[in-house]
């Protein structure tokens, strides 16, 4: 093969390979960036959309929820993240975080202990959460006199 023939074939192939690498990388990073940029906004929007929905024990939505049915529904519908069905299972199978590291979108658990969890809500900042309880889906303080906080978890890494 002559040198000129190699230059005619190899140069265009290298150019095409470079373009594919550049545009492929750009598409991957923009896809992941757009997915992460919408994550917390999407979770919060989905949760707020159901404010006022009735509480029904064992209900998983979309118009009636119990506490863990609500958090499961919100994560699945907003960011396609599947989490376990019950509050105790959600705590047991998600990444635990400390009170000082809690972020918006994390879950807050209530009960007698970390082994006896009976309620879960989603932290939305400023000491508040959205949860489904006897008054339905509401925004309320995490540290209300009727709740005993026993732990926190992060079902997904969200961007803000």
Q: What's the pLDDT score for residue 41?
A: 94
Domain boundaries, the chain: 39-154
With beta carbons less than 8 A apart as the criterion, state whether 4 and 11 touch.
Answer: no
What residues act catalytically? 67, 119, 131
Query: Residue 132 — left, alpha, or beta (φ > 0 → left; ψ -120 to 50 → alpha)?
Result: beta
Q: What's the pLDDT score for residue 99?
A: 96
pTM metric for this prediction: 0.76
Residue that wins the pLDDT comparison between 28 and 111: 111
**pLDDT tens profile 12-38:** 544 444 433 444 433 333 334 344 445
Average pLDDT over residues 82-94: 98
Q: What's the pLDDT score for residue 4?
A: 58
Fold of 39-154: endopeptidase fold (from Nostoc punctiforme) (3.90.1720)
Residue whose entry in the numeric block shows the structure tokens 């082994």:
115
With beta carbons less than 8 A apart as the criterion, state whether 77 and 60 touch.
Answer: no
């Amino acid at each position: 093969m002559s040198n000129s023939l190699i230059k005619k074939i190899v140069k265009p192939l290298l150019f095409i390979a470079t373009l594919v690498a550049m545009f492929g990388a750009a598409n991957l990073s923009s896809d992941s960036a757009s997915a992460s940029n919408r994550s917390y906004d999407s979770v919060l929007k989905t949760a707020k959309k159901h404010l006022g929905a009735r509480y029904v024990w064992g209900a998983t939505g979309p118009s009636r929820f119990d506490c863990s049915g609500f958090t499961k529904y919100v994560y699945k519908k907003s960011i396609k993240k599947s989490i376990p069905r019950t509050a105790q299972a959600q705590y047991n199978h998600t990444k635990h975080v400390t009170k000082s590291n809690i972020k918006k979108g994390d879950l807050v658990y209530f009960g007698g202990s970390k082994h006896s969890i009976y309620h879960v809500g989603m932290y939305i900042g400023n000491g508040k959460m959205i949860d489904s309880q006897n008054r339905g889906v509401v925004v309320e303080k995490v540290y209300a006199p009727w709740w005993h906080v026993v732990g926190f978890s992060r079902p997904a890494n969200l961007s803000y």
